[in-house]
């Protein structure tokens, strides 16, 4: 359960010292068309990120499969070293095919690689929040999430988030 801490719209994440503002920034569209490749105007994308943080946004939602890699590289270029209160929320569990398709990536090695790609491209030693992307991209999928959650729990114990 997320607890609202005051009327300004900040929330503390349970079990952490992380506080996020009600409004965050979703970075998916920073990449080029179809969330692939670089944006048409890199300088404008960097300016958008800086303006968001200057306007009080303290959490950015991203993933290294946006671009792929492009969005996280833009975030690093625009904001690193990161403000102390900036929370980067990323996700793993998918990857992009050469044909720009969205492909589930839930195997042990794909999740490990996804965490390390996020760390490298964001320039971080540990991630603040990691979300697991499960399910189909156009329809529901079947199967257990036990293995992916077990892998993420191991990576968390290693201090990667």
Predicted local confidence at residue 133, as pLDDT: 93
Domain boundaries, the chain: 24-157
Question: 24-157 adopts what CATH topology?
Answer: TIM Barrel (3.20.20)
Position 126 pLDDT exceeds 80: yes
Q: Percent of the chain at pLDDT above 70?
A: 94
Residue 54 tokens, joined: 């200057």
Confidence at residue 5, expressed as pLDDT on a 0 to 100 scale: 38
Per residue in 58-93, pLDDT (tens digit) is: 999 999 999 999 999 999 999 999 999 999 999 999
pLDDT at 20: 86
Question: Cα angle vertex 91, ends 95, 77, to 5°?
Answer: 90
Catalytic residue among 25, 65, 66, 82: 66
Q: For the chain, percent helix, then strand, then coil, each to nearest 5? A: 35, 20, 45
| H/E stretch holding 25 | strand 25-26
Is residue 66 annotated as a catalytic residue, yes or no? yes
Does residue 23 have a pLDDT over 90? no
> pLDDT band at residue 2, thresholds of 50, 70 and 90?
very low
Q: Rounded to an integer, what distance in angstroms lies between the CA atom of residue 33 and that of residue 146? A: 34
Looking at the chain, the whole-number percentage of residues with pLDDT higher than 90 is: 79
């Amino acid at each position: 359960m997320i607890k609202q801490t005051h009327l300004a719209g900040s929330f503390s994440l349970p079990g952490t010292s992380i506080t996020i503002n009600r409004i965050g920034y979703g970075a998916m569209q920073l990449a080029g068309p179809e969330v692939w490749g670089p944006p048409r105007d890199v300088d404008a994308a960097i300016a958008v990120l800086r303006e968001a943080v200057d306007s009080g946004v303290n959490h950015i939602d991203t993933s290294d499969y946006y671009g792929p890699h492009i969005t996280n590289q833009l975030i690093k270029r625009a904001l690193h070293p990161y403000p102390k209160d900036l929370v980067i929320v990323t996700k793993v569990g998918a990857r992009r095919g050469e044909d720009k398709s969205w492909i589930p990536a839930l195997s042990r090695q794909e999740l490990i690689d996804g965490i390390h790609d996020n760390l490298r491209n964001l320039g971080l030693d540990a991630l603040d929040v990691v979300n697991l992307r499960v399910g189909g991209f156009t329809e529901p999928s079947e199967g257990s999430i036990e293995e992916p959650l077990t892998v993420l729990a191991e990576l968390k114990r290693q201090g990667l988030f």
